[in-house]
Amino acid sequence: MTDILMPKATAVWLVDNTSLTFDQIADFCGLHPLEVRGIADGEVARDIRGADPIANGQLNREELDAAQNDSKYRMKAQKSRHAELLKPVKKAPRYTPVSRRQDRPDAIAWFLRNHPEVPDSQVARILGTTKATIDQVRNRSHWNSGAIKPVDPVTLGLATQMELDAVVRKAADKRAKEDAKRGVTEPEGPTLRPASETGVSEDANVFEDEDSTEA
């Protein structure tokens, strides 16, 4: 049977405007007979406005008349002319202008360096790239590895700030939940040990630029 649009609203209309039995209405709308009885008693769907199934193309007058003349008759729904409009629209793949496609490896490198917790599937989705390309950048097997520099995808115009924030937040929340399950807690502040404990001079340059090693 064709699924009924707005089943409760349709049931409200049928209860108010026809002599159909609760079983007939329940069968047509995909509801339980007790739910239809509740609608008739004013205990269910009080604030729902009735929807005429004939007007919206889900039922023809002949079917309704046949059901009202025979309590054992079960009405057959028609495909509503509004059904196509209510179908979920699949989101089209992200389109990246040709002039921006060469920037994807830089954006991938930025994710790998700054947000390794973001899964490859999400990086691929937001940048419009593939997991294979991400692996190539990660393993430095990309054909242009020597020229790849981490650059914020928002700066490159490959994503909006809202999209980036949402992806990072989702990944952070997921990681926090996983850590909580394992009993891992994040430190409240910096945990760098002082130079006196590590034996390294405070004047020593202990932070190396990763890019300087890639020359």
Residue where a domain stops, chosen among 81, 110, 137: 81
With a CB cutoff of 8 Å and minimum separation 6, the contacts of 115 are: 168, 171
B/e letters for 153-181, b = 16+ CB within 10 Å, e = fewer, are: bbebebbeeeebeebbeebeeeeeeeeee
Nearest-angstrom CA–CA distance, 32 and 38? 10
CA-wise closest residue to 134 among 146, 121, 144:
121
Q: Does the residue 126 lie in any domain?
A: yes
Number of domains in the chain: 2
Asked if 115 and 178 sit in the same domain, the reply is yes
Angle at 122 between CA 129 and CA 112, to 5 degrees: 80
Q: Does the residue 158 lie in any domain?
A: yes
Q: Does the residue 93 lie in any domain?
A: no
Radius of gyration in angstroms for the set of CA atoms belonging to the chain, rounded to a whole number: 31
Asked if 65 and 112 sit in the same domain, the reply is no
Q: Does the residue 86 lie in any domain?
A: no
Q: Does the residue 59 lie in any domain?
A: yes
Asked if 17 and 71 sit in the same domain, the reply is yes
CA-wise closest residue to 75 among 29, 34, 33:
29
Could you tell me the residue range of the domain that residue 12 belongs to?
7-81
Asked if 115 and 60 sit in the same domain, the reply is no
Q: Does the residue 205 lie in any domain?
A: no
Residue where a domain stops, chosen among 54, 81, 108: 81
Asked if 102 and 169 sit in the same domain, the reply is yes
Nearest-angstrom CA–CA distance, 102 and 111? 16
Nearest-angstrom CA–CA distance, 21 and 27? 10
Asked if 104 and 67 sit in the same domain, the reply is no
- Per residue of the chain (215 residues), what is the pLDDT tens digit? 457 788 999 999 999 999 999 999 999 999 999 999 999 988 887 778 888 998 888 888 999 999 999 999 999 888 755 555 545 555 555 555 544 557 889 999 999 999 999 999 999 899 888 999 999 999 999 998 889 999 998 888 888 888 888 889 998 888 888 878 877 554 544 444 444 444 444 444 434 444 444 44
Residue where a domain stops, chosen among 23, 52, 81: 81
Q: Does the residue 90 lie in any domain?
A: no
CA-wise closest residue to 211 among 110, 133, 104, 103:
110
Instruction: Tell me the CA distances in angstroms from 171 to 44, 57, 122, 135, 164, one per residue in order.
Output: 41, 45, 9, 19, 11
Asked if 103 and 171 sit in the same domain, the reply is yes
Asked if 103 and 56 sit in the same domain, the reply is no
Asked if 58 and 105 sit in the same domain, the reply is no
